[in-house]
Amino acid sequence: MLLIDGREQDMVARVTKAANKQNIPHEVQELDTGDYIWTRDEYLESDICIERKTVSDLILSKRSGRLDNQLKRMNSNFPLSYLFISGKFENIYFSNNYIKGWTTEHTKGLKASISAKYPFVHIVEFANDTQLIDGIFLFYRKFVEHREIRTASELETKFKKKKVTDLDPNFVHYCQMAGIGEKKAKEIMETYPRFGDFIDDARNNCLKVKVTHTTRKWLKEMC
């Protein structure tokens, strides 16, 4: 399902129209983080969070400090986070919305800073809002299409590159849960050596270990 932030003003009607045309389930609500969220389903191991910014809004929100707060929340709560930028930076100098003092050096510095400070937030640029709207739905289709490749790649990154040849299957199961990394998986295994026991307690709401909201949501859907 696609969640759409109702504060996106004129974009709401355009995105909902595109969703209806493609028979995509969607809801309009006030989102705490991001402008669009593809919720986790049988094809997505995690929610996909998208923040939309026009070039001028991106610059102004950077100067006000609002952008950093938004990206910080995305980076902390969504491993799949994307900053969709609508428009071209060079065009701000030829429009009525000229941003005084902004240079190409600022543009390069902003993109580099975002990548360095928020590693889970990826920048994607579109020429205009029409292409950006297409991109919202294209992202979901591509994530569905490449699920098997993505899963295999994640396992390879976690295990094969570390030359681990004899893995406890319980450890692998823990690592594949939303919001669980290798360190947390090892901590959980101290209390729950068997993954089945962990799931049983999760189903009965009596877990003996602390897990994040993301993991609890994943467990609730799974159970």
Residue 130 or residue 197, greater confidence: 130
> In sequence order, which ranges of 118-204 are alpha helices (DSSP H)?
129-145, 147-158, 169-175, 182-191, 195-203
pLDDT tens-digit readout, 57-80: 999 999 999 999 999 999 988 889
Q: Which amino acid is at 187?
A: E
Mean pLDDT is highest, among 28-32, 40-44, 92-96, 214-218, for: 28-32
d(CA 167, CA 174): 12
Decide the pairing of beta strands 121-126 and 80-86: parallel
- Residues 38-52: tens digit of each pLDDT: 999 888 888 999 999
Domain ranges of the chain: 2-145, 148-222
Given this model, what pLDDT does residue 125 score? 96
CA gap 2, 152 in Å, rounded: 26
Range in 94-98, 109-113, 175-179 the model is least confident about: 94-98
Phi, psi at 217, each rounded to 5°: -65, -40
Note the pLDDT of residue 163.
43
> What's the CATH code, domain 2-145?
3.40.50.10130
> Tell me, what's the pLDDT at 107?
93
CA distance 153 to 151: 5
pLDDT at 162: 47
| Span of 38-47, 109-118, 157-166 with lowest mean pLDDT | 157-166
